[in-house]
Amino acid sequence: MTPLFLLFLLFQQHDTIVVTGTYEPLSIDEIDRAVRSLPVREHRDLFTSLSDVLRLDPSVDFRGRAPNGVQADVSIRGGAFGETLVLINGLRVNDAQSSHHNLDIPVPLDAVDRVEVLRGSGSTMYGSDAAGGVINIVTAPPEGTEVRLRTAFGNFGTNEQQASVAGVFGKVSEQAAFSRDFSTGFIPDRDYRNLQFSSDTRARTALGTSSLTLAYMDHPFGADQFYGDYNSWEDTKTWFAGAQQSFGERTTGSFSYRRHSDLFVLYRDRPEVFTNHHSDEVWQGALRRNEELSPSTHLFYGVEGLHESVISSNLGDHARSRAAAYASFDVRALKRFSLSISAREEVYRSWSATLSPTVAAGAWISRAVKLRASASRAFRVPGYTDLYYHDPGNVGSPNLRPERAWTYEGGVDWSLASHVRAEVTVFQRRERDGIDYYRASPTDIWRALNITNLNFTGVEAGVRARGFDFRYTGLRGAQDTIALGLTKYTFNYPTHSGVVSWQGMLPGGIVARTRVGVLDRKARDPYGLWDVSAARSRGRIRPFVQLSNLTSTRYEEVLGVPMPGRSILAGAEFVIR
Segment 108-159, tens digit of pLDDT: 999 999 999 999 999 999 998 999 999 999 999 998 999 999 999 999 999 9
Q: Which of 106, 64, 60, 67 is nearest to 83 (CA)?
A: 60
What is the arithmetic mean of pLDDT over 316-320? Answer: 94
Summarised one tens digit per residue, pLDDT across range 553-562 is: 999 998 889 9
pLDDT for 2: 37
pLDDT for 246: 95
Q: Measure the CA–CA gap between 396 and 438, rounded to whole angstroms.
A: 11
What is the arithmetic mean of pLDDT over 88-108? Answer: 94
Higher pLDDT, 488 or 8: 488
Whether residue 352 is predicted with pLDDT greater than 90 in this model: the reply is no
Summarised one tens digit per residue, pLDDT across range 197-211 is: 999 999 998 889 999
What distances in angstroms separate CA 326 from CA 119, 122, 127, 299, 344, one per listed residue?
A: 21, 13, 10, 11, 4
Global model pTM greater than 0.85: yes
CA-CA-CA-CA torsion sign (424, 429, 434, 438): positive
Residue 227 banded pLDDT, cuts 50, 70, 90: confident
Whether residue 4 is predicted with pLDDT greater than 50 in this model: the reply is no
To which H or E segment does residue 388 belong?
helix 384-388
Q: 478: which strand partners?
A: 455
Whether residue 7 is predicted with pLDDT greater than 50 in this model: the reply is no
pLDDT for 452: 87
pLDDT for 559: 83
- From 38-42, 96-100, 522-526, 528-532, the region with the lowest mean pLDDT: 522-526
Summarised one tens digit per residue, pLDDT across range 402-456 is: 999 999 999 999 987 667 899 999 999 999 999 999 888 888 889 999 988 889 9
Most confident of 223-227, 352-356, 547-551: 547-551
The domains of the chain are located at: 3-576
Mean predicted lDDT score pLDDT of the chain:
91
Q: Which of 319, 439, 445 is nearest to 390 (CA)?
A: 445
What is the arithmetic mean of pLDDT over 164-191? Answer: 95
Q: Measure the CA–CA gap between 453 and 446, rounded to whole angstroms.
A: 20
Q: Measure the CA–CA gap between 346 and 419, rounded to whole angstroms.
A: 42
Residue 228 banded pLDDT, cuts 50, 70, 90: confident
Q: Measure the CA–CA gap between 120 and 503, rounded to whole angstroms.
A: 27
Which spans in 494-572 are helix H?
none
pLDDT for 245: 96
pLDDT for 367: 87
Whether residue 522 is predicted with pLDDT greater than 90 in this model: the reply is no
Whether residue 244 is predicted with pLDDT greater than 60 in this model: the reply is yes
Whether residue 14 is predicted with pLDDT greater than 50 in this model: the reply is no
Q: Measure the CA–CA gap between 73 and 463, rounded to whole angstroms.
A: 27
Whether residue 321 is predicted with pLDDT greater than 60 in this model: the reply is yes
Residue 351 banded pLDDT, cuts 50, 70, 90: low
Residue 124: phi and psi, rounded to 5, are: -60, -35
Q: Architecture of 3-576 per CATH?
A: Beta Barrel (2.40)
- 91-92 vs 114-119, strand pairing mode: unpaired
| Tally of residues, the chain | 577
Share of the chain above pLDDT 70, in %: 95
pLDDT for 94: 94
pLDDT for 523: 79
C-alpha 566, offset from chain centre: 26
DSSP assignments along 536-553, one per residue? E-SSSEEEEEEEE-TT--
DSSP assignments along 111-177, one per residue? G--EEEEEES--HHHH-TT-SSEEEEEE----SS-EEEEEEEEETTTEEEEEEEEEEEETTEEEEEE
Higher pLDDT, 512 or 68: 512
Residue 485 banded pLDDT, cuts 50, 70, 90: low
What is the arithmetic mean of pLDDT over 268-272? Answer: 93
DSSP assignments along 389-410, one per residue? -EETTEE--TTPPPEEEEEEEE
